[in-house]
Amino acid sequence: MAPSVKAKNPPTPKARSSRRSLFGLAALITSTPFLIAIAIHGILLLLGGSIVLFRQGNPLAIFTGQNYAEPEGAMELQAPPSPEESSPESPNEPMTTETTTPSSEREETSEVLTLTTPSVMPSFPSSTPVRSLAPKATGLGSPGKGGGTGGIGTGTRKKPRTGKGSLFGFEETQENDLIGTMIDLKLDSTGKKPTGIGNTDTDFYGAVRSLLSGSGVQDGAIRKYFVVPKKLGATQIFIPVCDAAEAPKVFQVADRVKPNFWVIRYRGRFAAPVTGKYRFVGKADDLLWVAVDGKTVLEAHWDVNNFLTAWRPKDHVKEHSVYDFMEGNTEGDRERAFLTYGDWMNLEAGKPKDLEILLGEYGGGRFFAVLMMQSWEEENRKTGSKERPLIPLFVTAEPTGQQRQAMRSSKIQFPGKTPVFAADAAGSDSPTEATTPSPPTTPAPPTSTRGDAASDPAYAAEWKDGSSAGQGFEPWILCSNDSPDNKSFAGFYIARQEEKSGSEPVATEGRSWALYADGEGFQEAVACRPFSVPLAANQFLSVDLVAPVPKSNSGSPGSVGLTLRQGKKLSRPSEYNDGARLELFALEGKGNYQILDGSQLSDSGLPVSPAGLRVQMTLRTADTYDLKLLSLGGDAPVEFPNRRLGGTPGSPLESITLYNRDSEGNVYFNRLQLGP
């Protein structure tokens, strides 16, 4: 048996690998393509590694096939530069297409933009020109030339607003707006820590008083509290009774700011349209303070025994109540619901003044505020209301249709003329112009050589059957089924604006034609106006109206409207649509005006509104026409071109009837125009 021989230990995998690496390296060194291979691998490494870096991976993964997605591996990688680091000049520019931003980060960025730049809202068209209102750091600018804070541009933009609005202001701001900033006294400047203010024993007026120095609000004092970044642009202070929680909602901080112990600071400029003496008049629940050029001119708080300064009212103390406007229901409400009259100011036409207003709420329940502007001439003139005088609302821009509708539906009756105290107003030195109408919002009717209006002297005494004025028409034919003995009332009268504020949109010199139909049974009042000659091709007919939403109590649907028809006769109200070729009307149960002609019955899409409506019909051929409906509140017109007339084909248009059929309200008409 041969002796055993001790075998050599086989090389370990590590040793084999080392040897192979050495041999391979030697071979590569002696090889001609070595340098080329090094260059190629280097380029691939750089390109592949860059791509994976932007995708938050590991540059080695594409070569080794290993998974480096574990948290440990990810932590070892250096994060790519943030957009702020890579583009410091444009922090809000979107990321490059290679960079994927998590959706949560995009939402957070959008929210920051919304809060710090109030003009940039998701609902605004991207093409809408906007002006930044976010001053540095705190959002508390100094009064600027443009009528607001220091961050406001001085360019004038009077295009219709495209953004959302509320009682507290518009999200899209314009020149002459009062810029509103909300301050929460309960939170510190970070908006996270409570200040201790707002406890049951906290003096709300004392807390607000600490914000003032002399007669002005101090920016330094406000910075101690949470200043809401969102800004709103207001043109008036008119907030009917609402929940105090509405303020945090419209400033988009309802999730952070509780509806008590908050203050809204409005800043801007205003100018009198006419040289004269003026004063602010107002009331709020809980706080209303007004300063002009740094001097307190009005404090109209809910607590009549609390003031922020040494200012006190001088006249009309506890004289004119707004108890009905603020929907009071306690004796305490009745004792506090009196308008407060401010100090008289001598204002020059067109000369701007700095204006600062504070509104505030401490209870967290009901809130309301109203601020008006009274002229010296109107103060010394008798008014139609014994409960309180007619005082115009203070506005810095022409009211929108919605704002006018809110004024008309309010329990406070305002005069029909609303002077505009715009900072850029040209003004007039004539004191007598204080009683002239402010620039009209009602669009001018088409140029016409023939027409009639309720302001004609022929209607000074009354509007009755056979009345006639203007050109292009025959006398009125008025017909109703009025029966006072049966408590059924229907008829006609001249509505005077100071008595019927709802007639304002269509009134000329304060007057319009009115038809009423109310009481028991089905009441009808119809006014027919024959044309001197039938309407010819390419001629138009225009008329203005304010219609109520019909609410009949007879069991049959009520309606109000007008009819263009063949024929000139009317012997009883039921003939209002005899020979009708076109009828436009408001019908009970329908929110919009309806169109009835030779085409299918159509919903106009235009709501029945107290803002009023202009109806313009242009005859194209004997059987076709164009219809334009224009809201007198300033909204865009609605047009219906090339529609077919109903009735007998080819029959002439010889008269118009205006009717009120048991609407249980008044309908106002005016400005009948024929042309060209």
In the DSSP assignment, the letter for residue 502 is G
Architecture of domain 165-435: Sandwich (2.60)
Tell me: the pLDDT tens digits for 627-645? 999 988 777 788 999 999 9
Q: What is the pLDDT of residue 385?
A: 53
Contacts by 219-223 with C-beta closer than 8 Å and gap 24+?
219/138, 219/140, 222/138, 222/140, 222/183, 222/265, 223/138, 223/140, 223/189
Q: What is the pLDDT of residue 658?
A: 97
Let me know the angle formed at the C-alpha of 213 by 210 and 216, rounded to the nearest 5 degrees: 110
Q: Which residue ranges in the chain fall short of pLDDT 70? A: 1-160, 162-163, 214-215, 380-387, 425-449
Q: What is the pLDDT of residue 2?
A: 41
Cross-sheet strand order for the sheet of 602-607? 477-480, 524-530, 655-661, 559-565, 580-587, 592-596, 602-607
> Helices 34-54 and 13-30, interaxial angle, to 10°?
120
The C-alpha atoms of residue 362 and residue 142 are separated, in whole angstroms, by 27
Would you list the domain boundaries of the chain?
A: 165-435, 450-675
* 450-675 CATH fold: Jelly Rolls (2.60.120)
Tell me: the pLDDT tens digits for 527-571? 999 999 999 999 999 999 999 999 998 889 999 999 999 999 999
Q: What is the pLDDT of residue 20?
A: 52
Q: What is the pLDDT of residue 590?
A: 92
Q: What is the pLDDT of residue 386?
A: 58
Residue 646: CB atoms within 10 Å: 20
- Closest C-alpha among 339, 322, 321 to residue 279: 339
Given this chain, do its domains 165-435 and 450-675 carry the same CATH topology?
yes
> Contact, 186 vs 270, CB < 8 A?
no
